[in-house]
Structure 1
Amino acid sequence: MSSISAARAHLSYLRRESAVEHPKEVELDVGSEVSSSEAPFEDRGKFYNGDDDKLNGQAFLEKSADDRHQFRIIVSPEDGGELKSLKDYTRGLMRAVEQDLDTRLDWIAVNHFNTGHPHTHIVLRGKDDRGKDLIIARDYIRNGFRQQAEQVLTLELGPRPTRQIAAGLKAEISQERLTSLDRDLLGLSIAGEVILPEARSAYDRFRAHLRIARLQQLQKMGLARSLGQKKWRLSEGLRDTLTKMGERGDIIRTMQRAYSAQVNRHIFAPFDPAQRPVSGKLLAAGLRDDGGDGKYLILEGDDGRHWYAVVPVDQPLPVRGGKVELSAKTGSPKPSDLTIDRIARRYGGIYSASNHVNADGPQSDAFLLAHKRRLEALRRKNIVSRKSDGSWTIPGDYLRRVARLEGKGISVNIPGRTLPLPPR
């Protein structure tokens, strides 16, 4: 968590978003103090934890102000509409997580009913019950929470019927997002290669059908290719690519809710060198339902397009219909970027460890590894590409691209209005 003001704004927005959409005449600034004194409908917008139904968000902020980090979790059970109480379900989930992590957890949650699918936002302190930094393994964050959520749901609603499970898996075959079938294939893969196991039972044959159908779909999407004899090669970065595709689908659905007519939809991409500033009328804003720090906004651009952008949660915005200007922030390249660019220019746009040594003399393994890791990170941002011999192709506008990347986001301007700085 970057600052107490961002944490305060995040909790404030969670409380407000849980009830209804903002009235059009209300400004969408979210820097106000957090409390539980406001309850639009029943328990909507009220924070709770494992013991109390009505909590003060400000008190939670004060005791967690010195935490090194926070965890933000969204619980969205597939059959959530059938639950008797989303609050009780969330409490059961957090008790199960406490058992897994072998510590009491300090958390606060709020239920959201602002979409067609009820869900819960949980903010978890970064301290365990001994006052030490809470460490959660990356795999548990990625898979453990999901598995526990499914088990708690099964305890309350009973096992899902076999036909329902089969229908859900079949529906995943054509989805343009990361699915359980993809996780299964990634689990089978070794160095990106999948060898499908022999089918020895009716269930195995069913799973084999699902895997082959999903692999064929991934091949159509350019994310897998058949090697013959039940062997497949998965695209490098498959998980990240499918995750981003799913996020884009979520963005489109968000824009459809805000503006149901067929419109020219675009995503404002501050890290794309081709992205130009955009101005327009604010149509909608709300909290992202992906656990991120930001909130989204949708503009009806002066260029006739509709734009989706993500800004800091404590960024003030005008009332709906107000004018907004967006542009990409520009940062500064890192020292390693200057070195990479200089060497690449000397060697025809190619950087490699050997070129580095030839240009600057002997270098430590750790120093060369740091440059390689930087390039790996930039490859995932599609700024550089790696060649089969381990060298790197560096674009001519490399420094401009990384400067935009280091700018870390979007600059928001509201014409004709001077805004106060967000609270600290």
Structure 2
Amino acid sequence: MSKPLGKIPATTKPKSSERERSVRLRPGRQRAVNTTPRVRSSAAAKNLFRLVRLVSRSPRAPGRVGGQGGSSRLSNYMRRAVVNVRYKTSKSPRSWKAHGAYLERESATRPVETEHGREHDPSKDRLGVAKEESLAAIADRWQRDGDARIWKIIVSPEDSGVDFERTAKTVISAIERETGHPVEWAGIVHRNTDHAHAHLVIRGRSPDGKPLDLPRTVIRQGLREAVRLDLTHQLGPRTIADIERQKTGELTTARVTSLDRSLARRVRDHSSDGAFQRLLRTNNVEEQRRLNYLKTIGLARQETSELWLLRTDFVAQLTQMKDLQDRARTLFRSGVAISDPHAPMEFLSGSRKFIGRVLLNSEDERTGAMQTIFETIDGRIQIIRHDSTLRAAWERGDLRPGNLVSIDFLKSSPERLYAVSLGADQTVLTDKKALDVVLRKIDLRELAKPELEKGWMGQFRKALSERARSRPRDRAL
């Protein structure tokens, strides 16, 4: 007989909460569908975002000049500009008035078309008190009041679309915070070059009668930082694409770049060649590309795959090339056509004896010195810095573009040169008296050159030849 089964233990029923927990569905980690893989932000992008936050949080008026301008990484994303600060003393009478008159003459006097195809009103390019009075009158009054100096500032942004009134006020505010005094100023915008730029004149006297002094740190760095911050506020930070485009463009440009300055600091002397005395070793791709360009314009020579020779004066040569390009571009836009665009160009530090047609009056961007560009009747382009001879002629109005000017020694004072206008280029062609003056000073055989048959110079030579043939008949009558 089988044993009875023992008591079966009762199973414990799970509590309802435990039962629900055991069957609850738990979704897995959410995954992105049809999206590009996530990439880690680059350092460049992080710096750009930091600058955007910095600009958006910083006050519209920059802080005290000469302070911290941000890290160099952030600085790469700020808008760029050249800020040139100079001053002029009152040693030469009426020289400040001449500077103001030059700025007025070279400013746009007619509506200019903007990049969006609209006409720009030139009246908006008058800044500060220049809205009410001419720059010549303002500067002349300051000099006659006995001021020791006048400050001249050029602000040249790299980008277009700048509100120059706002940028000028940024510069003035920075100076007033630094000096602790309000300043008198005026300005005008020039749009006759590739980059529009503003010329400011600032009175060199404080309200208390003392000379207005600007610390060297403000001149070298402070004002430029203030302008760059203002431009970044206006236009937004430079993008990574902007920076790459600028770097690529600098590899093949005939001017001094930051890469050239870096190369110049790293070269060492090498005496195997008279002209190429700088030795440089590099395997950097960008430096190699820049050196290859310098090689094409005769400023570098490759010895091996990594070894290069540079001309000792390659930085000075690049500077002069940029000057020639700027002047040629300005001449092209000046409205006075050059007879021979390929004529040799030379720089002179003072007047010399010649006859030539005025092409342009301008200021040297680095020194601020006035200069006049002539097309001489023997087929050269001469850029002459103003001395007492040219300054006097300019003040008399004899150096207007298009005037034919004779520079010769005075009979009463043979050691002194005197410049005088013989008339406007088109009227001179039929002016017997002016043609006779030229014929007395030159030998027509010297003008028998093929290159002098072009443009206005060709017309002038033809007029001289016809006048030379007709003079004996006039005398006989």
Q: Which of the five TM-score ranges fits, normalised by the shorter chain?
A: 0.5 to 0.7
CA gap of 1:263–1:56, structure 2 versus 1, over 3 A, is closer
Matched residues in 1 for 2:265 and 2:106: separation? Answer: 37
| % identical equivalent positions | 24
Q: Does 1:168 align with 2:246?
A: yes
1:281 to 353, 357, 363: 357
Secondary structure of 2:344's match? strand
2:164 to 59, 83, 86: 86
User: Could you tell me how far 1:163 is from its partner in structure 2?
Assistant: 1.3
> Corresponding residue for 2:288?
212
For residues 18-417 of structure 1, the aligned pairs below 5 Å read 18-20=107-109, 43=123, 46-48=126-128, 53-55=131-133, 57=135, 58-64=137-143, 66-80=146-160, 82-83=161-162, 85-96=163-174, 105-115=183-193, 117-127=195-205, 131-132=210-211, 134-137=213-216, 141=219, 145-186=223-264, 208-223=284-299, 235-257=311-333, 258-259=336-337, 263-270=341-348, 277-282=353-358, 284-288=359-363, 290=365, 292-299=368-375, 301-311=376-386, 312=391, 314=395, 316-317=397-398, 321-326=402-407, 412-415=419-422
- Partner deviation per Cα, 1:117-150 (whole Å, 9 max, x = no partner): 322111234456772452443x864665545433
- State whether residues 277 and 328 of structure 1, in contact with CA within 8 Å, keep that contact through their aligned partners in structure 2: yes
CA gap of 1:268–1:413, structure 2 versus 1, over 3 A, is farther
- State whether residues 14 and 45 of structure 1, in contact with CA within 8 Å, keep that contact through their aligned partners in structure 2: no
Matched residues in 1 for 2:340 and 2:405: separation? Answer: 22
Q: Which moved more, 1:99-108 or 1:89-98?
A: 99-108
Matched residues in 2 for 1:227 and 1:106: separation? Answer: 57
Pairwise CA RMSD: 4.4
Matched residues in 1 for 2:100 and 2:312: separation? Answer: 37
1:16 to 99, 105, 121: 105
In the alignment, structure 1 segments of 5+ residues that lack a partner are: 22-39, 199-207, 330-403, 418-424
CA gap of 1:320–1:194, structure 2 versus 1, over 3 A, is closer
Question: Between Structure 1 and Structure 2, whose CA radius of gyration is higher?
Answer: 2
Secondary structure of 1:297's match? strand
- State whether residues 18 and 114 of structure 1, in contact with CA within 8 Å, keep that contact through their aligned partners in structure 2: yes
User: Could you tell me how far 1:90 is from its partner in structure 2?
Assistant: 2.1
- State whether residues 87 and 111 of structure 1, in contact with CA within 8 Å, keep that contact through their aligned partners in structure 2: no
User: Could you tell me how far 1:210 is from its partner in structure 2?
Assistant: 2.9
- Partner deviation per Cα, 1:71-110 (whole Å, 9 max, x = no partner): 3222221212x22x22112222443455567775543211
Matched residues in 1 for 2:192 and 2:407: separation? Answer: 26
Matched residues in 2 for 1:116 and 1:155: separation? Answer: 23
> Corresponding residue for 1:3?
92
Aligned AA for 2:354? Answer: V
CA gap of 1:326–1:239, structure 2 versus 1, over 3 A, is farther
- State whether residues 6 and 314 of structure 1, in contact with CA within 8 Å, keep that contact through their aligned partners in structure 2: no
Q: Which moved more, 1:96-105 or 1:69-78?
A: 96-105
> Corresponding residue for 2:425?
none
User: Could you tell me how far 1:288 is from its partner in structure 2?
Assistant: 2.9
Aligned AA for 1:19? Answer: A
TM-score normalized by structure 2?
0.51
Matched residues in 2 for 1:294 and 1:228: separation? Answer: 46
TM-score normalized by structure 1?
0.56
- State whether residues 96 and 143 of structure 2, in contact with CA within 8 Å, keep that contact through their aligned partners in structure 1: no
- State whether residues 355 and 377 of structure 2, in contact with CA within 8 Å, keep that contact through their aligned partners in structure 1: yes
- State whether residues 47 and 55 of structure 1, in contact with CA within 8 Å, keep that contact through their aligned partners in structure 2: no
Secondary structure of 1:43's match? helix
Aligned AA for 2:317? Answer: T
Give aligned pairs, total. Answer: 303
Matched residues in 2 for 1:310 and 1:226: separation? Answer: 38
Matched residues in 2 for 1:317 and 1:286: separation? Answer: 11
CA gap of 1:101–1:228, structure 2 versus 1, over 3 A, is farther
CA gap of 1:318–1:4, structure 2 versus 1, over 3 A, is closer
Aligned AA for 1:92? Answer: T
Matched residues in 2 for 1:60 and 1:247: separation? Answer: 28
Matched residues in 2 for 1:16 and 1:162: separation? Answer: 39
- State whether residues 189 and 199 of structure 2, in contact with CA within 8 Å, keep that contact through their aligned partners in structure 1: yes
CA gap of 1:267–1:225, structure 2 versus 1, over 3 A, is closer
Secondary structure of 1:175's match? coil
Q: Which has the higher contact order (CA 8 A, sep 6+)?
A: 1
